[in-house]
Amino acid sequence: MEKKRVLYISQEISPFLPQSDVSTATRKLPQGIQEGGKEIRAFMPRYGCINERRHQLHEVIRLSGMNLIINDVDHPLIIKVASVPQAKIQVYFIDNEDFFTRKHTVKNEKGEFYTDNDERAMFFGRGVLETVKKLGWKPDIIHCHGWLTALTPLYIKKLYQNDPHFADVKVIYSVYENGFNKNWDAKFYDKLKFDGFEEEDIHDLKDVDFFALTKKAVSVSDGVIQGSGRIDSNILKMIEESETPFLEYFSEDSCVKPINEFYDQIFEEIVV
């Protein structure tokens, strides 16, 4: 029997960024799932604050060279890779000078959220999916972590639904405590329309705050996991009232087994 393949798409991964609920989970979980017998790939943005020399990042020339159009602007896609030796995993980085060379992650030096985080999320999600296709690696499960990945389930289920590379994939979205406190660009809806989405798929994204974005990710995912010990009570209530299968929070030290079983449940396998 072939190994199941799990693709991790994360806003942050340790040790490339400081420890947080997101970065720690996506450092420990892929390792544990891989050691449990599944095949994994992991992706994150190549923020400018990541020390390329220290972490030995290098460009993957055969995967770079694509361009993605976001809001009618052409953006080159650069792919880099580095290893986490103690975990025996590789991490791929989505890079672009317009979106990811600045010296901070999702906020500027004043602590204000970047006004183009919507386009950064679009570029990151599409960049991962196009790179995975170019790798020729077909995932069975795609597990998204952090709100910068919240659009990715929507892309998979609506724009890539007829792509044989993703036709049968199951999508899991992990919800964390971290969010954002400034609504996305008022033109975000038009940017999605330009990308090819139908009005019926994005009508609820005309005024995007953290709650609306999370609700959309939950509605189009095949499963949802609580990634932080505490999350917003309104979001938790929304998840619990949705029809999407939900796995409650497990700490990083005990999460691998229940999440692995959740993957199998979502993929309709018999859990031993």
CATH value at residue 181: 3.40.50.2000
Is 231 within the bounds of a domain?
yes
Is 239 within the bounds of a domain?
yes
28-41 pLDDT per residue, tens? 999 999 999 999 99
The SS3 call for residue 183 is coil
pLDDT at 165: 94
Q: Which of 79-83, 101-105, 119-123, 264-268 has the lowest mean pLDDT?
A: 264-268
**DSSP classification of residue 107:** B
Q: How far is CA 130 from CA 7, 8, 66, 242, in A?
A: 13, 14, 9, 30
Is 116 within the bounds of a domain?
yes
Is 86 within the bounds of a domain?
yes
Structural domains counted in the chain: 1
pLDDT at 252: 85
Mean pLDDT confidence for 156-164: 94
Q: What is the pTM of this model?
A: 0.96
Rounded Cα distance, 64 and 102, in Å: 20
- H/E segment holding residue 246: strand 246-247
Is 241 within the bounds of a domain?
yes
Is 271 within the bounds of a domain?
no
177-205 pLDDT per residue, tens? 999 988 899 999 999 999 999 999 999 99
Is 272 within the bounds of a domain?
no
pLDDT at 271: 36
Is 189 within the bounds of a domain?
yes
Mean pLDDT confidence for 11-23: 95
Gap between the terminal Cα atoms of the chain: 15
> Within 82-198, where are the H helices?
117-135, 152-154, 188-195
pLDDT at 87: 84
Domain hosting residue 212, numbered range: 5-266
Rounded Cα distance, 194 and 198, in Å: 10
Q: Which residues contact 61 (CB under 8 A, 6 or more apart)?
A: none
pLDDT at 1: 64
**Helices 210-220 and 233-241 meet at what angle, rounded to 10?**
20
Query: pLDDT at residue 269 above 60?
Result: no
Closest CA to 80 of 70, 68, 67, 90: 90
Q: What tokens were used for 49? A: 């604050």
The SS3 call for residue 147 is helix
